[in-house]
Amino acid sequence: MILLNQLLKSIGAAEASNHFHFLTKKEETCAYLVSNLGINGKLCPIFHWNAIWHHRIAVEISAQLFEDSDKIAPIRESLKVYRENYNRMYSTMPLRSNKSFSYYLGAIALDAINEEYNEKNFKTFYRITKHLVGDGAFIEGSHYSLFCSQSFDRIRSLLQSFYKENILWKDLCEVMEKLEDWQRIISNNEGVIASIGDSWYEKVEPSDKTGMFSYKDMTVHKNKRWTIVRNHRKSPWALHEHPHLTEVLVAKDDEWIVQGSGMPSYKHIMSNPIRWRRPRNHFYIEPSFDFIWLWRLCKSTNKVRMITLNEDDVSVYDDGFLTIRWPFEGNYEWKTNSNEVTFKYKNGSFKVRGNIDNVKKGFSWQSTSYRKFKKVDVIRIEGRDLTTIIK
């Protein structure tokens, strides 16, 4: 009967999300969920397209029981059954995505709260984390990096108490600290993190670090006023991935002037995938063949846009014949005698110089928060050896 529930009668993502939020607000108890839904398998679907909320419930139950251990004894046997059912769930491993991270985080949390060590679960979680974090720049982008780091922080105390003698534990903590350091480095002075991958405007504690920070996927230039993320994506295949390629993201003081397009929600992207996956939705150099599928083939190319970062301005250098795209507020001035185009966007003033052949208008779409988005006017400038100065 339990297996049948896990296969056919498990709760869906929306219902699991409701249970998770009720649990965090203390409107439902761990005992209720474990004894009514956990032991009969309804919290643990074997196959589910997006079981993250089921994983988060396991993490939250483990965290709350660790914080109030007196609540464990009355449900100890049910908790063991819940753990056994959870271990039968399917994860997105070997894709090694945020979904497999959250699944194995739930697994090692339930192992810890039941005081039953499972070496396979812990080593698999360690390998997934090392792969996703890499050199610090999370391969699935900023939003999913926050989801993973915040989930890990929620359960860190329990994991520390149970796994502190494990030889991999210290290295795992260092990997997560490296991830959180990257999140702060790619944020502006207010702590709003750069929109990389499927994401939107989210906040972290801002960093006071300045200088140039090099990663496989990007280089970050940072001083007291500016945060510049210079992308040169070279990551392996990732489930939630955008064609950032040579895209340059620009923050001035407390405002992002040039942000990534992000993704407002699965619902919006699946209803209109061409809108959100179209190459011209991004501010990278426009290639000769601008087809929607080519970016996955081109992402490993080592094309670098040079950056000069000063106190009052930023310069972006593009050599050769190409087309560049920037957001703008609908009006521009093209001085053909001096080969110069000027325009404004948000709190930034743009000036593009070089051998300019043509200027056209376009548009892109950008997520602003969960399920919210806006249409952005874009200027397309075609020419040779172009320099963009942003003040």
At residue 211, the pLDDT reads 97
pTM (2 decimals)? 0.93
> Residue 6 and residue 12: Cα distance in Å, rounded?
11
pLDDT digits (tens, 9 = 90+) for 198-240: 899 999 999 999 999 999 999 999 999 999 999 987 777 777 7
> Residue 54 and residue 5: Cα distance in Å, rounded?
14
Q: Label residue 50 by pLDDT band (50, 70, 90).
A: confident
Exposed / middle / buried, residue 247 (Cβ in 10 Å: 0-12, 13-18, 19+): buried
Residue whose entry in the numeric block shows the structure tokens 């996927």: 217
42-50 average pLDDT score: 87
At residue 47, the pLDDT reads 83
Please state, for a pLDDT cut of 70, what percent of the chain lies above it. 95
At residue 276, the pLDDT reads 84
167-171 average pLDDT score: 97
The residue extents of the domains of the chain are 2-184, 208-390
Q: Label residue 287 by pLDDT band (50, 70, 90).
A: low
305-323 average pLDDT score: 95
How is domain 208-390 classified at the CATH fold level? Beta-galactosidase; Chain A, domain 5 (2.70.98)
At residue 294, the pLDDT reads 67
**Tokens describing residue 348:** 């930034």
